[in-house]
């Protein structure tokens, strides 16, 4: 039985797949199986996977109909034989010491959940994201969970080492009925069965940003209900934990920022609603009790223009300010 099962969901990844697979096969630690889940990819990704499997007995390839990344990861977990599981996205790559370092820390300090830092690579620029300046941190879940959200270290399944028995004994799966936030829901579900988290403050995972601007500018339909679903699912776990006051504060800030994201999403250029409809939609949100509570509990600083909008229950000041700003920029 392999020590680690490395699961890679694959879809339209032929441009990056060689680099991803090579980074896994080049690991200093060798006792692992690599599960490549071809999620009905219409390009040559499936063929690439098969060619690698012909030359390395550690590789298993699953070909399935397209069901989305959650479906692909779940399929990989069903096949996994390793004591531990980790996930790699098909356009990302691993530092050669990723598995070795994760397993060393798991053996020395506890193996419930290992999280490592990562490099965010965009347009040949590298941004390192770690938890602290310490070599590693050993922390209790209830004292760190929302800090991990704040530092974007618990929002994705990659860059982590999970115990396979915790996943399988508790039937933890990626929710296939969600198109947003499913990764964080998976991580919170997993964290419901652990108490300690070990963090390696070295960027051992390379997160390759592919066309991020188009994702950021994309209008997310029905974002309000999707975000509320995420928050409700996270609350199912958090409400049963004994998170400290600092984490409660960070939770409240997270909830407010979710609302802010929703309000700005309404005014995406990709949203074909009329200006009147957009303003009415945001007004309903701003006037709601849930938003008022989120605003009251928020401990950070709010943009002055947003503050005015909240006081008059209208997003119009934000729209006018943005139009003026764009006009000034166009004349430079």
Nearest one of 198, 84, 85 to 141, comparing CA atoms: 198
Say what the pLDDT of residue 326 is: 80
Average pLDDT over residues 196-221: 80
Residue 36 has pLDDT above 90, yes or no: yes
Decide if 25 contacts 74 (C-beta within 8 A).
Answer: no
Cα torsion through 18, 19, 23, 24, rounded to 10 = -40
Residue 289, pLDDT score: 95
Q: What is the pLDDT of residue 269?
A: 85
Task: Answer yes or no: is pLDDT of 244 > 70.
Answer: yes
**Which tens digit of pLDDT belongs to each residue from 45-75?**
999 999 999 999 999 999 999 999 999 999 9
pLDDT beyond 80 at 26: yes
Whether the per-residue pLDDT at 213 is higher than 50: the answer is: no
For residue 49, what pLDDT is reported?
98
| Helix, strand, coil % in the chain, rounded to nearest 5 | 45, 20, 35
Looking at residue 311, what is its pLDDT? Answer: 95
pLDDT of residue 68: 95
CA distance 290 to 307: 17
Distance CA 25, CA 34 (A): 8
Percent of the chain with pLDDT over 90: 90
Mean model confidence pLDDT for the chain: 94
pLDDT tens-digit profile of 161-200?
A: 999 999 999 999 999 999 899 999 999 999 999 999 999 9
Domains of the chain (ranges; CATH) run: 4-210 (3.90.550.10), 217-330 (no CATH)
Residue 215 confidence (pLDDT): 39
User: Residue 79: how many CA atoms within 13 Å on its side-chain side?
Assistant: 21
Beta strands 93-94 and 84-87, pairing class? unpaired
Between the alpha carbon of residue 264 and those of residues 130, 279, 282, the distances in Å are: 28, 11, 9
126-164 pLDDT per residue, tens: 999 999 999 999 999 999 999 999 999 999 999 999 999
């Amino acid at each position: 039985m392999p020590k680690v099962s490395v699961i890679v969901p694959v879809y339209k990844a032929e441009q990056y797949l060689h680099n991803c697979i090579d980074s896994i096969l080049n690991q200093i630690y060798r006792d692992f199986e690599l599960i490549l889940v071809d999620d009905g990819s219409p390009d040559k990704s499936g063929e690439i996977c098969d060619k690698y499997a012909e030359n390395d007995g550690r590789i298993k390839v699953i070909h399935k109909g397209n069901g989305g990344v959650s479906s692909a990861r779940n399929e990989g977990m069903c096949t996994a034989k390793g004591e531990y599981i980790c996930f790699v996205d098909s356009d990302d790559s691993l530092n050669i010491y990723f598995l070795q370092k994760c397993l060393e820390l798991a053996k020395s300090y506890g193996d419930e959940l290992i999280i490592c830092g990562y490099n965010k690579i965009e347009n040949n620029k590298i941004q390192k994201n770690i938890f602290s300046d310490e070599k590693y941190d050993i922390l209790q879940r209830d004292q760190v969970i929302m800090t991990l959200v704040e530092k974007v270290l618990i929002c994705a399944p990659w860059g982590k080492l999970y115990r396979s028995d915790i996943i399988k004994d508790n039937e933890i799966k990626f929710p296939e009925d969600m198109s947003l936030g499913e990764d964080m829901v998976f991580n919170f579900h997993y964290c419901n069965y652990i108490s300690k988290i070990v963090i390696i403050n070295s960027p051992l995972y390379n997160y390759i940003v592919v066309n991020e601007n188009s994702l950021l500018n994309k209008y997310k339909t029905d974002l309000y209900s999707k975000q509320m679903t995420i928050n409700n699912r996270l609350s199912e776990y958090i409400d049963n934990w004994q998170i400290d006051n600092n984490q409660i504060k960070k939770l409240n800030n997270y909830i407010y920022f979710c609302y802010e994201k929703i309000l700005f999403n309404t005014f995406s250029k990709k949203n074909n609603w009329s200006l009147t409809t957009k303003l009415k939609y945001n007004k309903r949100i701003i006037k709601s009790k849930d938003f008022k509570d989120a605003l009251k509990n928020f401990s950070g600083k709010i943009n002055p223009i947003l503050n005015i909008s909240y006081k008059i229950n209208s997003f119009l000041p934000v729209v006018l300010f943005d139009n003026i700003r764009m006009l000034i920029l166009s004349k430079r």
